[in-house]
Every structure is written in C-alpha cells, then in structure tokens.
Amino acid sequence: MNSPGRGRNVTTMRTFLLAMLFALAVPLTAQAQSADLVLCDRVAADPSDPDKPADVKGVAEIAASDIATAVRFCKQAAPSSRRAMFALGRAYAANRQTGEAIAAWRKAADKGSSAAMVELGVAYATGAGVAKDEAQARKLFEKAAQAGNPRGVSNLAALGGAGGAAPADPAQARALLGKAAETNAEAQYQLGLMLSEGTGGAKDDVAARALFEKAAAQNHPGALERMGAFAQEGRGGPKDKDAAKAYYERAAALGDEDAKKALERIRCPYAIKDKQGRLVTTLCF
C-alpha cells in the first residue's frame, strides 16, 4: 500500500526535476547559440569587419568547402548577432546567391553593421543584384564612414564628393583614415595603400610600410601581402627575401590570393616563352 502523502511527494519531486531541467535548458541554449557564432566566425568572419573580436582571425575569402557550414551556422546565429547576419551575407555571396546575400546585408545594416553598409553600397554602386544607384551607394558609404568604417571612407572617396562631414576627396579620406588608423587594422591597411600610391597626398613608402607592419601584426591578410611585397622589393625599408616569403605564407594561409600568386612566382621564377612572347612553361624549384 502507498503510505499517506506519497503520491503528493512523487508529484512534487517530478515538478522539482522538471523545473531543474528547465533551468538547465536556458544556459544550454545560450551555449548552443554561442557555439553557432563561434563556428560562423571560424569559417566566414570578415577580417575587416569592425564588429569582429580581436581574437577572431577571419578569412579573406570563404573557402568553397566551408560555404555550407557557413550558411548553416551563421543562419542559426544571425537572429541575435548582426556580425553573424553580415557573415551569412558573405556566405550567400560566396555561393553566388546574390539576392539572399543582399537581404542578409540589409538586415545586418539595419542593425548597425557598418561592414554590411559597405557591401550594400558596393552592390548599389556596381548594380550587382540591385538596380544601380550611385546616390544610394554614397548614402550607405557615408553612414559606414560616419561609423568609423575604413572601407566606407575609402569607397566614399572613390565615388567623389559627398558633402557634409564625409570626405569629399581623397585628401579628406586620407585624413579620416589617419584618425581611424590609430587603432584599426583595416584603416592602417587602407591608409598604407593611399600612402604607397600617393593617393590624396604625397607618396611615402616608409610610412606606408610602417602602417602595413602594424596591420600585419594583427594578422590582416592584405597588410601581410603588402609587407611581403615591400620586403621583397626593399620598398620603405630593408630588402629581405626570407621575410617576404614568410609574410606571403602567412597571408596565403589567411586566404589572400595575391600572396598565393606571389609564392608561386617565388617557386617558379623563370618563364620560358616562344618567339611570339607567349608563355610556354616555367621553371620551378
């Protein structure tokens, strides 16, 4: 026979256990969401995204083998992370799903992602997936620039005059990048490019190399590639072939295509051409 109150005690215990399981489910859900974002970052984070944490390397280009993974985990993390929503757009773009990419970037931009604003601006400037609209592109680049996004600044300068506080010419873009370059790797890289090419002011290879070196120390793929080129050519500092190769290798490991080509040229330095000057083969070591 059941003792008096036993059924009530069992019910109470069952309720207690269910409450405990519910309480445990909340952090487990949060952990799963966090894991989604971690995996999204690993395969799809943009190295130039200002929202990217310092401990996330990012990838210059999403590898074809990682696209499905990126779409899956970035989509799961996107509702609570504008960074993941922006990365989801990158994954769709890598998979040539332009419409889906634009939609994801629009959502991320609405949440304040300056990186998404830049990508949308590029789409409007080029007519990729949307009707070409330079005025809308300029508006998006302005918003990104005002948020301190270096690519927003440089792209706005490329469009020409913008009015207001935004840069109306390359010289103003260079000045704005100078402020952002104090702490931001992408700004250091972009300003380094302007200095190395003499855009918006005097050409200065020494200053450009110093900026590339700062950004390279933060594993910026483009800056690593530029450091390789500067070290290989002796621009703005000493010539060092071994250092150049090391920089190229680091950049290539992060997905930089120019660095991969540079390594191939180092490996195969001699080109054999026919009488018409057409490449026949290369000699590799």
Please report, for the chain, the start and end positions of each structural domain, with discontinuous segments joined by +: 184-285
Of 281, 250, 280, 278, residue with least CA distance to 263: 250
Residue for token pair 């440089």: 154
Q: What is the DSSP letter of 133?
A: -
The pair of structure tokens assigned to 279 is 């490449």
Of 206, 209, 275, 193, residue with least CA distance to 244: 209
- Residue 279: φ, ψ to 5°: -65, 130
Residue for token pair 């922006």: 86
Q: Architecture of domain 184-285 in CATH?
A: Alpha Horseshoe (1.25)
pTM of the complete model:
0.63
**Terminal alpha carbon distance of the chain:** 88
Helix 98-110 vs helix 82-94: crossing angle, to nearest 10: 160
| pLDDT tens by residue, the chain, 285 residues | 444 444 444 444 443 443 443 334 434 334 444 799 999 999 999 988 999 998 898 998 999 999 999 999 999 999 999 999 999 999 999 999 999 999 999 999 999 999 999 999 999 999 999 999 999 999 999 899 888 898 888 788 777 644 444 445 788 788 888 877 887 888 899 999 999 999 889 999 999 999 999 999 999 999 999 999 999 999 999 999 999 999 999 999 999 999 999 999 999 877 777 778 787 676 776
Cβ partners under 8 Å of residue 41, min gap 6:
52, 53, 56, 58, 83, 84, 87
- Count helices and strands (H / E) in the chain: 13, 2
